[in-house]
């Protein structure tokens, strides 16, 4: 099945639909490459407060790098729907669990302008970031079409790995304010959520 994606202006106005393959083969000037929408999720082991990462094998894009559960938003989907689908496809997390997704914010990455040439590609992505607390981590089964294995990092190591370009998430000075906001929201979700729920109940 041909995977279609919607394309957007930098202001997120939809301007058309294209196949994912055609998008990555666009030959227009870098400034004219449209934006597409993607989504990523920090899947958290709620008991141990650790974050799931998968590792890319040599035959995958960005070999050796760690990755969150991530993917393109298909044409007609909203980011939340796309994230639920990716969680099911990549790590076998069912819809009942993924209904508890927590929105962290957006990161807009123009890959054509990154200083790190190894990360440059004909891609401009509006990435919706989510977090998901999961009690039953035993249900997680990685799709070996996407990665070779999985592991968990604590919050501090997660931030450090991202900031040191050890993951597929490009981290550069121009993107730092966007990442900082995501990191704050992630930390708040991971460590303050129970306390906030208790306050609401009172």
Distances (CA, A) of 187 to 51, 151, 167, 169: 11, 19, 19, 18
Q: Chunked in runs of 10, what are the mean pLDDT values of the chain (202 residues)? A: 95 97 93 97 96 84 86 97 96 92 97 90 96 94 88 97 93 96 97 54 35
Give phi and psi for 125, each to the nearest 5. -120, 130
pLDDT recorded at residue 193: 56
Domain ranges of the chain: 4-201
pLDDT of amino acid 57: 75
pLDDT of the residue at 72: 96
**Nearest CA among 32, 27, 29, 31 for reference residue 16:** 32
pLDDT of residue 89: 94
CATH superfamily of the domain spanning 4-201: Nucleoside Triphosphate Pyrophosphohydrolase (3.90.79.10)
Token output for 145: 């079409």
Helix, strand or coil, per DSSP, at residue 120: coil
Q: Contact at 8 Å (CB) between 23 and 7?
A: yes
């Amino acid at each position: 099945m041909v995977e279609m994606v919607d394309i957007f202006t930098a202001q997120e106005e939809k301007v058309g639909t294209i196949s994912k393959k055609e998008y990555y083969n666009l030959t227009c000037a870098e400034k004219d490459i449209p934006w597409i929408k993607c989504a990523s999720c920090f899947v958290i082991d709620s008991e141990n407060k650790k974050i799931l990462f998968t590792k890319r094998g040599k035959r995958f894009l960005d070999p050796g790098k760690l990755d969150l559960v991530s993917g393109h938003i298909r044409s007609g989907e909203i980011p939340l729907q796309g994230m639920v689908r990716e969680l099911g496809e990549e790590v076998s997390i069912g819809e009942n669990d993924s209904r508890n997704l927590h929105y962290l914010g957006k990161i807009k990455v123009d890959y054509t302008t990154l200083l790190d040439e190894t990360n440059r590609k004909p891609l401009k992505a509006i990435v919706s970031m989510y977090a998901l607390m999961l009690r039953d981590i035993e249900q997680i089964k990685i799709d070996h079409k996407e990665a070779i294995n999985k592991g968990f990092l604590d919050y501090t190591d997660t931030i450090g790995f991202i900031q040191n370009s050890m993951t597929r998430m490009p981290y550069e000075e121009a993107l730092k304010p966007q990442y900082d906001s995501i990191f704050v929201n992630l930390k708040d979700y991971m460590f303050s959520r129970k306390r906030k729920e208790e306050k609401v109940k009172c």
